[in-house]
Amino acid sequence: MIPELGYGAAIVALVLALWGAVTAALGARTGRPALLLSAQHAALAVFVLVTACFALLTYAFLTFDFSVRYVATNTNLGTPFYYRITGVWGALEGSIILWTWMLGLYTLIVILRHREGARELYPWVLTVMLGVLAFFLLVITVAAPPFARQAPVPADGRGLNPLLEDTGMITHPVALYLGFTGLTVPFAFAMAALITGRVGDAWITLTRRWTIIAWYFLSLGLLIGGWWSYHVLGWGGYWAWDPVENAAFMPWLTATAFLHSVMIQERRRMLKLWNISLVILTFSLTLFGTFLTRSGVIASVHAFTQGTIGAFFLSFLALVLLTALGLLAVRWDALHAQGELDSIVSRESAFLLNNVLFVAATFTVFFGTVFPLLSEAARGVKVSVGAPFFNQVNVPLFLALIFLMGVGPLIAWRRASFDNLRRNFLWPVLVGVAAAAFFFSLGVRSAIAVLVLALTVFVASTITVDFARASRARVRLGEPLLPAMGGLLRRHNRRYGGFGVHLGILIIAVGVTGSQAWSVQTETTLRRGEYAELAGYRVRFEDLTASEESNHFKVAGAFTVSNGRGLGVLRPAKKFYPQETSPIAYVDYRLGLREDIYLVLGDFARDGSQATVKFQVNRLVSWIWIGGLVLTAGAVLAILPEKKKAA
């Protein structure tokens, strides 16, 4: 009965979403408020119904309703309570429900915030949002129905993919999906602008904050994904240029480009066509990402879920791209910019270059991701490009972007004078060069590492110079120092929030560079009581214990770690799940600011007399997560409502 209720709710929601999309469009054309009101009610009902679907599916998981195919595939009697809840979105069908629910939520917030303010754009925004919702509801009802029954009913379910039994699986998909679905909002506004022909700046101003919010969640999702990879997968890495990671990274790159290029349009009325294209591209890339993860077209370690729904997503992607780009062609004349670049040495050109680099990075990532398909189509051979390709192409691009991060915010608009350049950049450049020399003298020989560290110091100095100068100006007007700084942050929250995000990215860059350049590892087989040494640490194999857990069998080794003084015992393990042919590694680690000690258990003797252990000392990885916190602070500051400037 419960599954049928859920299925029914999804069908009604689909009908209502279509109804709402049509009435909102009709309301826009006829100007009759009743139609628009009906669309709003439909949107509210859709949200309530999707919430009900979500609740019913969760109930089916909690009660082990194995007659539901999706439940039987993603849980079993041994699955702990907590993972029965996260299991709801552990695979395709349920994750689409979560996605749809968030989209419904965003639609409601759009209604609440914009129904008064943006009279011309708003009805079309609603149409697009409800149209996208209808697509996802179509997936739920037709392509991947989560409530489908199956006979005979198995005695026990298959169980969740063991890799997903991790706390990261509650936050990672939620953050990522909030990012993905949030990007629908700017897309809806861009489409509304194209449909109405009001391609001016109104839609940009209205969606700026939406874009930052979605962008932030996407960043958070990527970072948590990195953390999950680092502490679950057991290879000591946080990013592998896997197709699915790339799928989430590409819209992040284009959304970042968009966040920067909107400033040019706001200030100089330039880049209208470019901005709309970026938003269309970003939204299309979120669909492409879903297509990639769900269709099984490209093999990936993440492709837990695959189904026949690839064709659905591809058709929708085609519809979106062709409609949006077609509208772009129709509005071509109106989109032509009035402004012109006055000088190569100006803020406009720095931002433009920033955009070119971001889009170039997107393109290379896209190219590398679909390369197996390309090569198979062209030559009949399946060839993947690996991390080396992505690193070689992207590292120079990212270095250039970090450099621009220092230049862009301080250089003058239109045409930078020599005086402007000297005033803003003389000290930061000198400090940066000094930093390079300093790190070189410390024995840093990797060119990339020296460059990243020097650039980081350079950018941090530009931020310091800017902030110090602005604070000093306020102090001169008689304000005490601390209130002056606080007032600056509040009043120019967008600017300083942006700086905060930049600092976060810099810290992440240092973490990435450090872990790539200086991490060390070894792998040895130890008899009981023997020890291995690496980078001043000593790891001693104590013993091996086995235990029966609720849904798996676990063999854990105990290793005492010391560096002169005792640092405690680490217990890396192997978990044997009945439904998996190979055991799952359970990593144990000790995090530190300078370095992490990271142990992975390999083969072992059954009697516990010896064990193989992979012993890594990973440098500066913690700074990636710290950078994420700084980035969060910056993003929150930037999202805060802008305070009216005092006259």
Residue 602's H or E segment, with its range, is strand 595-604
Q: Per rule CB under 8 A, is residue 325 in the interface with other proteins?
A: yes
Residue 231 in contact with other proteins, rule: CB under 8 A: no
Residue 372 binds to other proteins (criterion: CB under 8 A): yes
CA distances from 265 to 190, 208, 254 (A): 14, 12, 16
Based on CB atoms, which residue is closest to other proteins, 182 or 243? 243
Among the residue ranges 91-99, 128-136, 154-162, 227-235, the one whose residues contact other proteins (CB under 8 A): 154-162
Task: Report in angstroms how near the CB of residue 323 gets to other proteins at its nearest.
Answer: 8
Q: Which is nearer to other proteins, 77 or 481 (CB)?
A: 77
Residues 376-415 that bind other proteins (CB under 8 A): 376-377, 382
Q: How many residues does the chain have?
A: 647
The reply to whether 497 sits near other proteins by the rule CB under 8 A is: no
Residue 532 interacts with other proteins (CB under 8 A)?
Answer: no
Stretch that binds other proteins, among 355-363, 369-377, 553-561, 637-645 (CB under 8 A): 369-377
Q: Pick between residue 11 and residue 321 the one whose CB is nearest to other proteins.
A: 321
| Residue 329 C-beta: closest distance to other proteins, Å | 4
* Dihedral over alpha carbons 613, 616, 621, 622 (to 10 degrees): 60
* Sequence-separated (6 or more) residues with CB below 8 Å from residue 444: 450, 453, 517
Q: How far is the CB of 69 from other proteins (least distance, A)?
A: 6
Q: List the structure tokens of 572.
A: 């890396």
Q: Least separation, in Å, of the C-beta of 277 and other proteins? A: 8
Burial 63-85 (b: 16+ CB within 10 A, else e): ebbbbbbbbbbbbbebbeeebbb
272-295 vs 168-182: helix axis angle to the nearest 10? Answer: 140
Task: Work out whether 157 is an interface residue with other proteins (CB under 8 A).
Answer: yes
In whole angstroms, what is the distance from residue 302 CA to residue 299 CA?
8
Alpha-carbon radius of gyration of the chain: 27
| Contact pattern for other proteins over residues 39 through 78, marking x by CB under 8 A | ------------------------------x--xx--x--
State yes or no: residue 579 binds other proteins (CB under 8 A). Answer: yes
Closest among 293, 61, 301 to 163, alpha carbons compared: 301
Determine how β-strand 610-619 pairs with β-strand 595-604: antiparallel
- Interaction mask 113-152, other proteins, x per CB under 8 A: -------------------------------------x-x
Q: Which residues of 86-95 are buried (b: 16+ CB within 10 A; e: fewer)?
A: bbbbbbbbbb
Site for other proteins, residues 277 to 306, rule: CB under 8 A: 288, 291, 295-299
**CB of 56: closest distance to other proteins in angstroms?**
21
Q: Which stretch binds other proteins (CB under 8 A): 108-116, 121-129, 194-202, 308-316?
A: 308-316
* Residue 310 binding other proteins, by CB under 8 A: yes
One of 214, 255, 317, 561 touching other proteins (CB under 8 A): 317
Choose between 327 and 501: whose C-beta lies nearer to other proteins. 327
Query: CA 502, CA 460: separation in Å to the nearest integer?
Result: 9
* Shortest CB 426 distance to other proteins, Å: 44
Nearest CA among 249, 256, 277, 116 for reference residue 193: 277
DSSP E strands, 479-594: 520-527, 531-534, 537-548, 553-563, 565-570, 573-576, 584-586, 588-590
581 near other proteins (CB under 8 A): yes
Distance spanning both ends of the chain, measured CA to CA: 64
Site residues (vs other proteins, CB under 8 A): 69, 72-73, 76, 150, 152, 154-159, 288, 291, 295-299, 310-311, 314, 317-318, 321-322, 325-326, 328-329, 332, 370, 372-374, 376-377, 382, 578-579, 581
